[in-house]
């Protein structure tokens, strides 16, 4: 490995060229000097936090080795850069980062040591682990942006952190939106009153990312978009030379991210590009200078900045899984020891006369003791209730055993085994209780009653621990928005469908200054189907905007905006191209509320269009894929533009993210324009019966609705078969009042129709109706589904005919059902 040899021999990277570098190297002969604006006490505080954080890493690793936690990944080797970075944070600023940032979080007072350990143990109490209530992994940080009722707290009282996720680079798309929000808050006067979210857009969105994660596509997509949009984003790259075992040579061209970023550098006098810097991660005073300089420009001028922090180390290796001795050379390991940022900062402080060695020894002693105490407090808070549960179950097993006949010995063995466990897990306790009831099931039923009761009492508690907050549960829930049907002025004529959504968006933009829309061709053109036509001219380029071709960061832009209180409608031009954004929708947006146990939300509306057009890449209807990847979002499939408008109005009154798939070929179909277009709502999870019938229930949605209706007409006319056509409208949530099963009670036959692949959304609907709603009991014939072909559709109208179900297919399938 070239890096190893090079660093091992010279002790520094040979690629280190002065790339807009700010370095303060003290002349050994000169008088000791303090970093600008700091007192010795400030520096000592920074050292204290850095040292504390290192102790946390060391002890936390020990906890994993002891088996008290599953996995550990820590911020050792990155401490000094982070205390320096913390110095430029201001209230209202946001972080979007990754698992190395514990020191930054400590320094910003957004995390305590006890909370760090609580998360390591997966403590499910939100008070113990406010970032995730044990749901996120260790070192997945985040602040609580919502109160217990799901309402925003003031985000400008302190710095905030968006909630981390694990996929490398996935902090980047949302970072773009967090930064872009400042631009909107600064430049849209109608937002200036929203001071709980922003103070005139003065907030910076700070990103952190590892050197190796800069090899991800999403890194470059975000860096480019932030440069185009000129947003106040300040990105730090923590460069420790590796991504697990793979060195920079195999991650980025020329092994050096700041060399590559040079093309993004600002040219003085020009209004685009980045403020760049490069600084060594053990050089405290240079780090302070660099962050002070770059953040000043970013905050004042709304220019993106990037700081490449080099020469960082990993004293304990990448994580608790595996050891870095396996892939780093002796020389490299020696180099890392020499460049340990904490030892260097300590030496520098002594050299500068900021503290004496004895003072620092005492400080370190204090911190070691403090971290131990916090660890123990976290452990006891986590484990004591579980021990108490184990004791209760052991007592109940004591009672059960004598009444369990042949199972007695087995149950006593289980009890003994449970009592022997020093640090029982909650699952151990519950599993033993359930197993004991299982083995004793044939004995006197009253014997197990107490244990059963104990388990039953636990069910709602375990639901709270593990199953809440996938969707909003309070006033924010879209399910609470009442239906408000469209009404029509007398004599209201018909218009092209696109004019219906256009009127809806017009009303929303007028009503609420937080609503904004963007996407490819959304601004000037008003989207490729004219849903936003004329609205940029009416509301300005910041409210209705064009975006580059970058689906993933269009979604990220929306996530960050929504996290800062805005109401973005992000457009993905065609459903087929959602795939580029699917990862971030799935990993970040759809998990956000769940992974923070209700601490954060991003009510993003993704607007797209699909079903039926032409060919392999323009006619997809991969609704199964969407449903399977996006639990945590609502998935809505309106058959026409009036229904679409109703869904937008519903969603804008609620706090969950959603995707609305409009029907591509409905924009030119005539619809009447509702007179209440700005207020009408379509409720989520409520299907609509489009045609009543007695023989077959036909369950479908979207572009298949007109096909179903035409088939139903033909079947009645030519075969005297009466078909009940139900438009599901809302796939997630799905038929919350179980209306469809009521139709099955009447018809005893069901056909599920859609354009997805076999086993896709059709299978999902079948599962919902037959299993969850109990529809199976009412059937006299085997349930059927009629789907698209397994392949993507062939091109052209004929390709479409043979790739997707049509009217004749529906007629055949219904007749076959009738013949059974
Ligand atoms: C998308 C994705 N791929 C792979 C991983 C597994 N993984 C976790 S951390 C990591 C290395 C990241 O290296 P770097 O960005 O340099 O950060 P560092 O850990 O060195 O600070 C990898 C490959 C992941 N979490 N996500
Ligand atoms: Mg790295």
Mean pLDDT of 551-575: 98
Helices (H), 449-496: 449-466
Q: Are strands 750-753 and 723-727 parallel, antiparallel or unpaired?
A: unpaired
Mean pLDDT of 611-638: 91
For residue 214, the ligand 1 atom closest to its alpha carbon is: 15
Distance 291 CA to ligand 1 centre (A): 25
Q: Using 50, 70 and 90 to split pLDDT, how confident is the model at 27?
A: low
Of residues 202 and 6, more confidence is placed in 202
Nearest protein CA to atom 17 of ligand 1, as residue: 210
Judge if the beta carbon of residue 239 lies within 6 A of ligand 1: no
Mean pLDDT of 721-728: 98
Q: Say whether pLDDT at 269 is over 80.
A: no
Question: Which of 138, 167, 218, 243 for mutating ligand 1's site (highest number of atoms within 8 Å of CB)?
Answer: 243
Judge if the beta carbon of residue 251 lies within 6 A of ligand 1: no
Distance 317 CA to ligand 1 centre (A): 13
Which position among 618, 628, 737, 791 bears the catalytic label?
Answer: 618
pLDDT tens, 337-360? 999 999 999 999 999 999 999 999
Mean pLDDT of 89-118: 98
Asked whether the beta carbons of 603 and 177 are under 8 A apart, the reply is no
Q: Say whether pLDDT at 163 is over 90.
A: yes
pLDDT given for residue 246 in this prediction: 97
Cα–Cα distance for residue pair 651/656, rounded to 1 Å: 8
- Ligand approaching nearest to the C-alpha of 244: 1
Q: Using 50, 70 and 90 to split pLDDT, how confident is the model at 549?
A: very high
What is the secondary structure of 387-432 as a DSSP string?
A: HHHHHHHHHHHHHHGGGSGGGHHHHHHHHHHHHH-SS--HHHHHHH
Q: Say whether pLDDT at 332 is over 50.
A: yes
Q: Using 50, 70 and 90 to split pLDDT, how confident is the model at 1?
A: very low
Distance 176 CA to ligand 1 centre (A): 20
Mean pLDDT of 628-654: 98
Of residues 445 and 407, more confidence is placed in 407
Q: Say whether pLDDT at 2 is over 50.
A: no
Q: Using 50, 70 and 90 to split pLDDT, how confident is the model at 271?
A: confident
Question: 53-91 b/e with 16+ CB inside 10 Å = b?
Answer: bbbbbebbbebbeeebbeebbbbbbbbbbbbbbbbbbee
Question: Which of 71, 173, 244, 251 for mutating ligand 1's site (highest number of atoms within 8 Å of CB)?
Answer: 244
Nearest protein CA to atom 21 of ligand 1, as residue: 210
737 is catalytic: no
- Ligand approaching nearest to the C-alpha of 74: 1
For residue 100, the ligand 1 atom closest to its alpha carbon is: 21
pLDDT given for residue 270 in this prediction: 80
Q: Say whether pLDDT at 8 is over 70.
A: no
Judge if the beta carbon of residue 213 lies within 6 A of ligand 1: yes
Residues bordering ligand 2, an ion, CB closer than 5 Å: 210-212, 240, 242
For residue 169, the ligand 1 atom closest to its alpha carbon is: 1
pLDDT given for residue 10 in this prediction: 31
356: exposed, middle or buried (C-beta count within 10 Å: 0-12, 13-18, 19+)? exposed
pLDDT tens, 741-756? 999 999 999 999 999 9
Q: Using 50, 70 and 90 to split pLDDT, how confident is the model at 296?
A: very high
Q: Would the pTM of this model clear 0.85, i.e. be above it?
A: yes
Judge if the beta carbon of residue 244 lies within 6 A of ligand 1: yes
Judge if the beta carbon of residue 240 lies within 6 A of ligand 1: yes
Distance 69 CA to ligand 2 centre (A): 23
Q: Say whether pLDDT at 710 is over 50.
A: yes
Judge if the beta carbon of residue 212 lies within 6 A of ligand 1: yes
Give φ, ψ of 729 to 5 degrees. 65, -45
pLDDT tens, 450-490? 999 999 999 999 999 999 999 999 999 999 999 999 999 99
Q: What average pLDDT does the chain have? A: 94
For residue 209, the ligand 1 atom closest to its alpha carbon is: 15
What whole-number percentage of the chain has pLDDT above 70? 96
- Ligand approaching nearest to the C-alpha of 318: 1
- Ligand approaching nearest to the C-alpha of 241: 2
What whole-number percentage of the chain has pLDDT above 90? 91
Distance 239 CA to ligand 2 centre (A): 5
Nearest protein CA to atom 25 of ligand 1, as residue: 167
Cα–Cα distance for residue pair 599/357, rounded to 1 Å: 43
Judge if the beta carbon of residue 242 lies within 6 A of ligand 1: yes
pLDDT given for residue 32 in this prediction: 52
Task: Order across the sheet with 544-546: list the strands.
Answer: 544-546, 515-519, 567-572, 605-610, 658-663, 634-636, 730-732
Cα–Cα distance for residue pair 133/131, rounded to 1 Å: 6
Would you call 533 helix, strand, or coil by DSSP? coil
Asked whether the beta carbons of 452 and 427 are under 8 A apart, the reply is no
For residue 210, the ligand 1 atom closest to its alpha carbon is: 15
Residue whose pair of structure tokens reads 């129709």 in the numeric block:
753
pLDDT tens, 803-817? 999 999 999 999 999
Mean pLDDT of 260-287: 94
Would you call 752 helix, strand, or coil by DSSP? strand
pLDDT tens, 422-457? 999 999 999 999 999 999 988 887 889 999 999 999
């Amino acid at each position: 490995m070239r890096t190893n040899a090079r660093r091992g021999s010279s002790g520094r990277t040979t690629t280190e060229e002065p790339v807009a570098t700010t370095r303060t190297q003290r002349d050994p002969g000169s008088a000791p000097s303090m970093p600008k604006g700091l007192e010795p006490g400030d520096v000592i505080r920074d050292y204290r936090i850095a040292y504390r954080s290192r102790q946390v890493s060391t002890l936390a690793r020990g906890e994993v080795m002891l088996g008290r936690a599953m996995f550990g990944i820590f911020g050792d080797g990155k401490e000094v850069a982070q205390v320096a970075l913390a110095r430029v944070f201001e209230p209202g600023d946001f972080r979007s980062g990754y698992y190395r940032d514990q020191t930054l979080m400590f320094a910003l007072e957004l995390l305590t040591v006890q909370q760090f350990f609580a998360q390591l143990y997966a403590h499910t109490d939100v008070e113990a682990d406010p970032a995730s209530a044990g749901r996120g992994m260790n070192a997945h940080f985040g602040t609580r942006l919502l109160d217990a009722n799901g309402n925003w707290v003031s985000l400008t009282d302190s710095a905030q952190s968006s909630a981390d996720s694990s996929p490398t680079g996935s902090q980047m798309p949302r970072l773009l939106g967090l930064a872009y929000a400042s631009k909107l808050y600064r430049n849209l006067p109608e937002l200036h009153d929203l001071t709980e979210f922003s103070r005139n857009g003065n907030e910076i969105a700070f990103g952190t990312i590892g050197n190796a994660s800069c090899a991800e596509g999403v890194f470059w997509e975000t860096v480019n978009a932030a440069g185009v949009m000129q947003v106040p984003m300040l990105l730090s790259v923590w460069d420790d030379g590796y991504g697990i075992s793979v060195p920079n040579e195999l991650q980025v061209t020329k092994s050096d991210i700041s060399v590559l970023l040079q093309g993004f550098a600002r040219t003085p006098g020009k209004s685009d590009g980045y403020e760049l810097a490069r600084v060594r991660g053990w050089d405290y005073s240079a780090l302070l200078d660099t962050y002070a300089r770059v953040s000043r420009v970013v905050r004042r001028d709304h220019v993106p900045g990037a700081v490449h922090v080099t020469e960082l180390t990993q004293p304990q290796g990448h994580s608790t899984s595996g050891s870095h001795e396996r892939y780093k050379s002796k020389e490299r390991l020696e180099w890392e020891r020499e460049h340990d940022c904490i030892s260097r900062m300590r030496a520098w402080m002594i050299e500068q006369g900021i503290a004496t060695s004895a003072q620092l020894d005492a400080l370190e002693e204090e911190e070691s003791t403090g971290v131990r105490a916090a660890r123990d407090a976290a452990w006891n808070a986590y484990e004591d209730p579980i021990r108490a549960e184990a004791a209760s179950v052991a007592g109940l097993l004591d009672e059960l055993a004598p009444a369990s006949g042949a199972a007695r010995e087995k149950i006593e063995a289980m009890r003994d085994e449970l009592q022997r466990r020093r640090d029982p897990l909650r699952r151990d306790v519950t599993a033993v209780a359930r197993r004991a009831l299982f083995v004793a099931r044939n004995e006197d039923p009253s014997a197990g009653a107490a244990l059963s009761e104990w388990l039953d009492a636990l069910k709602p508690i375990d639901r709270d621990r593990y199953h809440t907050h996938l969707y909003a549960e309070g006033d924010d829930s879209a399910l609470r928005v009442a239906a408000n049907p469209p009404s029509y002025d007398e004599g209201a004529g018909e218009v092209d469908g696109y004019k219906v959504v256009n009127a809806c968006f017009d009303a929303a933009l007028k009503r609420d200054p937080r609503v904004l829309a963007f996407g490819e061709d959304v601004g000037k053109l008003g989207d490729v189907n004219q849903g936003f036509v004329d609205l940029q001219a009416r509301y300005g380029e910041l409210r209705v905007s064009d975006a580059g071709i970058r689906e993933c960061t269009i979604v990220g832009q929306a996530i960050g905006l929504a996290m800062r209180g805005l109401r973005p409608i992000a457009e993905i031009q065609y459903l087929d191209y959602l795939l580029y954004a699917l990862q971030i929708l799935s990993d970040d947006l759809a998990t956000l509320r769940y992974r923070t146990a209700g601490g954060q939300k991003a009510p993003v509306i993704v607007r797209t269009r699909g079903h039926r057009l032409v060919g392999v890449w323009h006619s997809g209807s991969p609704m199964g894929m969407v449903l399977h990847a996006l639990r945590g979002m609502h998935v809505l499939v309106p058959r026409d533009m009036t229904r679409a408008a109703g869904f937008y109005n519903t969603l804008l009154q609620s706090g969950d993210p959603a995707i609305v798939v409009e029907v591509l070929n409905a924009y030119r179909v005539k619809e009447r324009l509702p007179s209440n277009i700005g207020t009408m709502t379509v409720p989520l999870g409520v299907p609509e019966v489009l045609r009543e019938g007695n023989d077959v229930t036909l369950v479908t949605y979207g572009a298949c609705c007109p096909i179903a209706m035409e088939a139903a007409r033909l079947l009645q006319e030519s075969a005297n078969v009466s078909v009940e056509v139900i438009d599901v409208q809302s796939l997630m949530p799905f038929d919350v009042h179980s209306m469809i099963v009521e139709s099955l009670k009447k018809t005893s036959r069901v056909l599920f129709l859609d354009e997805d692949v076999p086993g896709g959304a059709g299978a999902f609907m079948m599962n919902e109706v037959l299993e969850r709603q109990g529809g199976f009991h009412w059937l006299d014939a085997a349930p059927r589904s009629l789907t698209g072909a397994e392949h993507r559709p062939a091109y052209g109208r004929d390709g479409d005919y043979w790739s997707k179900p049509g009217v004749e297919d529906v007629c055949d399938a219904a007749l076959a059902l009738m013949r059974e």
